[in-house]
Amino acid sequence: MKTTLFLILLSLGVATAQSQTSFYDFTVKTLEGEPFELSSLRGKKVMVVNTASKCGLTPQYEQLQAIYEQYGGDDFEIIGFPANNFMNQEPGTAEEIAEFCQLNYGVTFPMMEKISVKGDDQHPLYQWLTQKSKNGVTESKVQWNFQKYLIGPDGRLEKVIPPKTKPDDSEIIDWITSGANE
């Protein structure tokens, strides 16, 4: 009887621990191939956005850079993840992506290596972002390039913003400036 109770409690503990994984538990790679520990962003609000260079929404890079210049720093960060999941709209190499972002939009916010944001080869960070069983908040599906995930300073997912919503939309700016959970 004690063994059964112990196993039940142990399995509940494991399930709870898995659903409480934090954004800060992940390490990703930059476009240059260097490890980037998301724990280095602890205490900041973070916008995670999947990007593409050949998409109708690509001009959002301009607004992303503008809000990064205005709000980025000690309290807010943007992280871009190039992804080629939608109609081959990010076919480039890391070098080509970096050059495109810099030359066309002057991007200075951190860009990470190209990953998969959906499907069988979905990156573990995007599994966490999209699965309530992992993030403990909501279930979502990456609809297209430039979907935005807003992470609170405590490492919890706070909002999912659709791709067509521009980065300088008042909902996003209010979230950046207020920091209040809804």
Residues forming the active site: 55
Buried b (16+ CB within 10 A) or exposed e, 134-147: bbbeeebebebbbb
Closest CA to 49 of 126, 105, 122, 101: 126
- DSSP assignment of 56-116 equals TTTTHHHHHHHHHHHH-SSSEEEEEEEB--STT-----HHHHHHHHHHHH---S-BB--B-
Pairing status of strand 76-82 against strand 27-29: unpaired
* C-alpha to C-alpha distance for 163 and 59, rounded to whole angstroms: 12
